[in-house]
Amino acid sequence: MGVVQANITSYEKLAAEVGTYEVVRRILDTHYALSDALLRERPVDLLIWPETVYPTTFGTPKSEAGAEFDTELTDFVTERQVPLLFGTYDLEQEREYNAAMFLGPTREGPLTRVAYRKTMLFPLTEWVPEPLDSPWLRERLPWTGYWKRGPGPRTLTLPLREGRSLQVAPLICYESIFPGYVAEEARQGAELIVTLSNDSWFQGTPAPRLHLMHAGFRSIETRLPQVRVTNSG
């Protein structure tokens, strides 16, 4: 596994300072450069970037710049012939999800693409329960998101090099604190837990360390190895 943790945090603050386009440009360029440095050291079966590292919708661009970023990332995977799992947003019929997206090179034709959509959303940050949702609440909690919940625990079968495959239990951030959720993915045949997280929201508090400790217990309970990737490292 090739893990890239670029220590770029506080995307919203950066966007306010330099603009959204420049933030996405900086994030992607840094991850491309670090990934290339890693790949020069040794080949990897799977390259992994953190949660929301691609901070816009992938595959359904909202602008010309978004379409350019999509093409650029697709070309990166194709040219390096390395499977990539990364955090992004997934859009379907105006419903947007916090997602982990897999892109895998093929010998010919389009890339293999499969997405996992986060189910356990952080309350009053990523979503608002419908009975509580109102303009009054959102005016007072302007950071609250509009993401929708995914379909629940599921594994992803990721094609790797030389015809091999790996069955992964994907988790995004907060999902790693729910033992039953991870146990269900293990029952579905997972061979590896992969957790993508953005822990920069809680910098300066004990939360990142506690979050890491919780993730460790999921491996103890399921007897599965785990790769955990965060933007802050």
Segment 155-207, tens digit of pLDDT: 999 998 778 899 999 999 989 999 999 999 999 999 999 999 998 777 788 88
pLDDT of residue 199: 83
Residue 107 to residues 10, 66, 81, 110, 192, Cα–Cα distance (Å): 38, 26, 9, 9, 25
pLDDT category, 127, cuts 50, 70, 90?
confident
pLDDT of residue 87: 97
Record the pTM.
Answer: 0.92
Most confident of 4-13, 50-59, 137-146: 50-59
Q: How far apart are CA 93 and CA 217, in angstroms?
A: 37
**Does the structure show a pLDDT above 80 at 97?**
yes
pLDDT category, 65, cuts 50, 70, 90?
very high
Tell me the average pLDDT of the chain.
92
- Percent of the chain surpassing pLDDT 70: 100
Task: Retrieve residue 146's tokens.
Answer: 């509009």
Please state which of the ranges 16-25, 214-223, 224-233 shows the lowest mean pLDDT: 16-25
pLDDT of residue 157: 95
Pairing of strands 165-172, 156-159: antiparallel
Amino acid identity, position 184: E
pLDDT category, 14, cuts 50, 70, 90?
confident
- Distance from first CA to last CA of the chain, Å, rounded? 15
Tell me if 100 sits within 8 A of 87, measured CB to CB.
Answer: yes
The DSSP symbol for 57 reads: B
Residue 77 to residues 8, 126, 188, Cα–Cα distance (Å): 22, 29, 28
Pairing of strands 2-3, 156-159: unpaired
**Cα torsion 50, 60, 107, 40: sign:** negative
